[in-house]
Amino acid sequence: MNITKLEQMYEVLRGADKKRLVAVWANDSHTISAVSQAIDLGIVDGILVGDESEIEKVCNVEKIDKSKFRIIHVKSDNEAGAEAVKLIVKGEGDILMKGLLSTDKYMRAILNKEAGLLAPKAVLSHVTVIENAHYHKLLVVGDVAIIPEPDLKQKIAIANYLIITAKALGIETPKVSCVSASEQVIPSVQSSVDACILSKMGDRGQIKGAIIDGPLSLDASIDMKSAQTKGIGGEVAGNADCLLFPNLDAGNIFYKMNSKMSTAEMAAFVAGAKVPCVLSSRGDTTKTKLNSIALCAMLALAK
């Protein structure tokens, strides 16, 4: 099924084997409510790692039946991170989710060299799926949150994560745009040079499973009239499934513009770990958290 709306993920997941989600330091109402809704929708089973008394208080206030969760009591956020990762490593969880602990502690647990979830030489990145009413399909974009200035090796990893995500959403051959300031090849602009290399790597099968083009400006990537006016042909121009941004500034601004000025629906996760990891922003709605859980379940299902 080619998914064109985020809500269609729930239809697919209801008929699939449920994945096990492990929420880290799950002491807050936003995390518990999102996991509770995901359980009620039949898309995951939930494990809450946190302070059991705090979890019980939240459940009482929110009128959530705590028996729907497996609760593992720990005394601190650091202990929660270590215990949650241990559950994943032991094969007792398929998805990791950040709760009330800080992002740096969450990432530290994932990156722990002795007991973490990162394979040697793996690149950790952030993938977002955006449903904007002004675009005719979903957009899979990265990186908007983790890598400030990705080099070519990191961009290759990001491209592969975007492709894997698009395929999990039913897009058989994703169209990937390597975004730069201009569709013209400008040797003095590194993003333009990197885009040329990535595009040629796609042509030669060094990056598999997608059609890759670049450099392409943002308007030429997602607006067919702009692409036609500029005389840009090819299968990607004006019809991209994926946007690979040149740096964190460009990606994050695009993400924030969509979330705050276009009221777009979002789903996001951290890619590159042994399992998909939900990394919620403080400004994310419960709906975004729920969409992100569903997206991670789709990726876990596709493995």
Assess whether 89 and 198 both reside in one domain. Answer: no
Q: Do residues 56 and 129 both lie within one domain?
A: no
Domain span including residue 165: 125-261
One-letter amino acid at 95 equals I
Q: What is the CATH number of the domain that holds 289?
A: 3.40.50.10950
* Residues of the chain falling short of pLDDT 70: 282-283
Gap between the Cα atoms of 265 and 71, Å rounded: 30
CA 80 vs. chain centroid, Å, equals 22
Q: Are residues 217 and 154 in the same domain?
A: yes
Do 163 and 219 lie in a common domain? yes
pLDDT tens-digit profile of 180-198? 999 999 999 999 999 999 9
Same domain, 103 and 132: no
Q: Give the model's pLDDT for residue 121.
A: 86
**pLDDT averaged over the chain?**
94
Q: Assess if residue 246 is contained within a domain.
A: yes
Say if residue 283 is in the same domain as residue 250.
Answer: no
- 116 and 129 housed in the same domain: no
Report if residue 1 sits inside a domain: no
When divided into structural domains, the chain yields a total of 2
pLDDT value at residue 130: 97
Helix 77-89 to helix 103-111 angle, to the nearest 10 degrees?
40
Structure confidence at residue 141 (pLDDT): 98
**Judgement on whether residues 171 and 84 belong to the same structural domain of the protein:** no
